Each structure stands twice: as structure tokens, then as C-alpha cells.
Structure 1
Amino acid sequence: MALRKVLLEGDPTLRKKSRPVTEYNERLCQLVEDMKETMRAYNGAGLAAPQVGVLRRVFIMNLGGEDEEDTVAVNPRIIEQEGLVVGEEGCLSLPGLVGDVERPERIILEAEDLEGNTWQRELTGLGAVCVCHETDHLDGILYRDKALEPLVSVDIVNEDPEEKANEDSEGKN
């Protein structure tokens, strides 16, 4: 396994559409293992191949921590969706920023495993959001493109309102 560099917004690779995986081999397995290591090192919930510079339709996600098995989706397709929910998202390729994005509340994901076997899974809530976010990466779309308002710094979002009020009043004296 090898830690890979996560590409940041502005890198043209992130805006390109990924090609389908056609060969299920050791190279694909190595890419996925590298992506797992990278996702964990960056404390991410998901990672798409274009984020590590590989324009193939592959993403991984893990919403349950180290005890949970990673979901590996090769050539993923959202075949059904319903409802809408607005939630705050972040991205390893846009570090330090968050924004509200409208996503389906429930989806059915169809994808392949590392051997090319097709599987389906119904996901709701955060799982559905994560799949949509990662699938967008495979189409060259960043969550900034879908954000309902401009992205904001995590520091601003996490700022304690009382602390901010105290700083503002101290600055006026």
C-alpha cells in the first residue's frame, strides 16, 4: 500500500470525466488499497479515484470508522433516487471548507466489486449523500458546483458565538 497525494481544487484532473474500469486486475486492487490508506490518513469518509489522479470510475467510502468494512464501488451508477435533503458537506480536495448541498434522501447504488461482479445497495441519509458526492467526482463535478450558497471556512462554522461576541466587543474598546 502507498499513501497517495490528494489533488486539490484547481487541478484540471478533478474536472475531467472518468473512464469505466474494464480490467479487473492487480493494478485495480492496488489502486483501491492505496485509496483506502489515503482516505484513512486524511480522515475522510470517501475518496474517488480522480482525487488521487486516476481517471477511472472507482470510489471507496467508510462511514463507520475502522471497525466497518470499506465500500468499494467500481463503475457505480445511481439507478434510483427519491426525496431531497440538505446537508453540510466537505471534501478532501477542498480542505477547510464546507457548504450546504441538496442531495437525494434515498438512493439505490449499482456497482461492481474488484472482480467485476455486480451488486446493489439501498442507502439513505449520510450514505446516500456520500455516494452522490463521490459519484459526482467521477463526472468532474465538485460539491462547490452544487452548493446552495458560497462555501465557508470550517473555522467560521466552528466558531463559538459567545467567543465571537466577546472578541467583537473587545475590538470596539
Structure 2
Amino acid sequence: MFRPDRATLRSAGFVVLLTGVFVMVNSQVVYAASSDSETGDLLAPLNITSSEGVPINGYELNSEGGSIVAFKTQALAFALSGLFTLIRLLVGLAGWAIEVALRFPLLKLLTDPAQRVADAYDTVVVDTLGLKGLLLAWGFVFAGFMIVRGRVGRGLGEIFLTLLG
């Protein structure tokens, strides 16, 4: 039986990784070019809209470093502007990743059967055995032991969390 060595596996893994990166980057380039964005640039998928309806590239941090010879304040203003741009880019990347995850076609296929299984489990197991009331009572018993042992804050917190869930 043929068993590849570690170097061959490492090379194959690297090729698979580079192929995945190549496909992902080029599909985003095609998406950016074919999207309805006004610019069609490479970072257009990262230009998500905020809850106020403003595109994320509409948010800017403008700071003035003072005099042209004040190198320290100019450098701090430049660094602050760069950090704000980096954070804006990371927020756009996180929004894009969430959009891709929710747009994933397999997710649409699996949500309906998973919901039916969860509903069946709830009716057949949880409601039949009365687990909700049992676990609620156990939470109060545990909180009572905590209060009796002198941990009143933790006991009341346990009661609050039990009633919250």
C-alpha cells in the first residue's frame, strides 16, 4: 500500500491551500467587478452598509497634527488615521465573512431539516420527560444551597440566570 511521506503531504496541502486562496481572491474580484458598486474595485465587497444605511467607507477620522514641523503630533495623527482605516477594513471583512456564511448554499438546505429535528426533540424528549420543570427546580435547589452556604450573591445570580434561560 502506497503511503506518502510528510514532505509530499505538506506539498499537497500547500497546493490545496494556494488553490483555495486563488479561487477565493479571483471570485471576489469577479464579484467586485460585477456588483452594483459605484467603483467596482477590489475592496468593494468589504464596503458594507451600517445600520444607519451609510456605506462603511463614509466613516472617516480626520485629525490635524498641528504645525508642519510638529513631527510627533503629525506622526500620531497619521498613525491614528491608519489605525482607523485598518479597523474599518477589519469591520468590513467581518461583515463580508458573515454575508458569505449566510449566503452559503448548503446552509439553506440544512436549516429546514435541522429545525424539524430540533422541534421533534423538543416535543418527544423535553416535553415528555418534563425536563424544563425539573431543571428549573434543580436550579433553585442549587441556588438555595449557595445561599445557605453564605454565597448570597452567587445564589441570587443563579436564580436570575435560571429564570432568564
Shared fold (TM-score, shorter chain, > 0.5): no
Larger Rg, first or second structure (1 or 2): 2
- Normalized per residue, which structure has more helix? 2
Please report the TM-score for the alignment, with normalisation by the length of structure 2.
0.21
Please report the TM-score for the alignment, with normalisation by the length of structure 1.
0.20
- Normalized per residue, which structure has more strand? 1
Which has the higher relative contact order, 1 or 2, with Cα contacts under 8 A spaced 6 or more apart? 1
